[in-house]
Structure 1
Amino acid sequence: MSAISILALDTSTEFCSVALYLNSLGTERAIFRHRHTGAVSSTHILPLIREVLDEAGLALGACNAIAFGAGPGSFTGLRTACGVAQGLAYGAGLPVIPVGTLLACAEMTRAPDAAPDRVVVALDARMDEVYWADYSWDKPSRSWVVNHDAALDAPDALPRPDEPFSLAGNAAAIFGDRLPLAGQAAAVLSDALPHASAVAALAARDYALGRTLPAHEAAPFYIRNKVAQTVAERQAAAGNRATLAHLAEGR
C-alpha cells in the first residue's frame, strides 16, 4: 500500500479541529489539534493547519486530499471549513472530500477495533431543535450504514430504533428529559462530537473508494437555510484569503 495523507478540518461547532491522517504501509496515525475557540475558528484554523503539517514534516501539496466537516452545524463554522478546504485545494491542486458531521460523531464512538452496532447521533441545533441521524456499523465492510440521513427536528420527535442503540452527541446534555431517546439508549456518549480525526478517518475510506470532488464542487451541507452572511463573516472570509495563498505556496 502506498503512503496516504489527508488533511481534515472541522469547525462545525465551537471547536476548531484540524487533523492530518497518515497511512504508511498500512500503519495509520493522526496528528491533530482540537481547541475550543468559540465563534472565532477562522482566526485559528490556518495556524493549526501549519502546525500539523510542520509536525509531520509534510508540505500541503504532498497530501492526497483535503477533507472537511460539511455539516450540519454552525452556518459560520461550515463556511469556514469549506472555504479554507476549497482555497487550499485550489492552490495545491488537490481534490476535496466532504464528510458529514453527524457521521463523524458516530465515528467517534468507535473503539480501535469495534463500534456500537447502532448509533443515533443528536446534536444541539439551537432554536429548540436537534440535528440527528441514525447509523449502523457493518462489521464485514468496517463501514457505517445510514438508516436515517441527517435531519432537523424537535428533541421529542426523534424516532426510537427497533433495536438497542447508543446515543451520541451533546443533545442529551442540553435537553435532558425533553429528549426521550436519552432515557431509552443503552449508552449515552455525550463526548462523541465532531472531531477532525474522525473526519480524516472517514475521508480516508472515501479516498480509497475514489469518492473525491474537484475543489470547485466543495459546498457545505445545510439543513436549516440562511441566505446572507453577516458583516463579521464576510470580513473573516476576506482575511483568510491571503493566508490561504501563502499556505498553498508551501506545496
Structure 2
Amino acid sequence: MARRAAALLAAILLAALLAALLAGCAGSGAGGGASDNTGQGNSRGTLTVFAAASLKASFTELAERFEKENPGTVVTLSFAGSSDLATQVSQGAPADVFASADTSNMARLQDAGLVDGQPRDFATNTLAIAVPAGNPAGIGSFADLARSGTKLVMCARQVPCGAAAAAVEQQTGTDLSPVSEENSVADVLGKVSSGEADAGLVYVTDLRASVGKVESVPFPESAAAVNTYPIATLAGSRNKTAAAKFLELVAGPEGGEVLAAAGFGPVGSR
C-alpha cells in the first residue's frame, strides 16, 4: 500500500512539473519576444510600402537605407498611380505604408477609416512638359500643347498628375485634347520617350530621372498646381513599429536630402 501511494505521489509530481515546463515555454513564445510583424516593439519582418510612381527612385534608395539601419527588416515596394493604390488598399490589399502624390487620395483612405493616425506631408512636386529628344514638334509653352495636330499624352484626371494638369488648364483657360490618358506618370513618360507622343505632362522629378531619353520644357503656369505628398501608416498594418520608423526616415532630414536630390520640393519645416 505504501509503495502504491509513493508511486502515485511521484506520478502526480512529475505531471505537475511537466505542466509547469510547458506553460513556461508557451509564455516565453507569446511574450518573451515580439512577433516580427505585429509591431509590438519590434521592427523586424516584412514592411510593405505602397507609393506613387513618381517616388520610385527616391523610395528605392530610402528602402535600401532602411534595411541597412534595421537588420532583419525587408521592405517590399509597390509603385503605381496613387488612385490605383488607394483603390487597392480600399479593396483589402495588405500594406503597411501608403505614400500618395496628392492629399485627395490619402483623404479617401482616411474617410474610410483605413489610415492609422495623421498623415505627414513630406514633399512637393510640380509639372513640366516632357518632349522627345530634339523636340521635333517645337513645343515651347503650355499653350503649345493645345495646338491642332499636337499628340499630347497626360495622366487621367483621377490621377494626381492629371488633376494638377486640369488645375492648370482651368487657371489658364486652356483646353487640352490629349490623344491618350494614362494611369501614372511613368506611362506618360514611356510614350513620350518612345516617340509615340509629341509631348506629355509629367513631374519635374520624372524628367530629372530621364535625362537623355526626353527633354524638359518648363512652364511658369505649373506654379498654379503644386502637388503635396503625404505618407501614413495604414490601419491594417501588421508591422506598425517598422512603419513608424520608415515614416520618420522619409519625413526626416535624411529623407529630405534624398528627395531634394531627386528634384522634390520641401514642405514647411521637416
- Normalised TM-score (structure 2): 0.28
> Higher helix proportion, which one?
2
- The structure showing larger relative contact order (alpha-carbon pairs under 8 Å, at least 6 residues apart) is 2
- Normalised TM-score (structure 1): 0.30
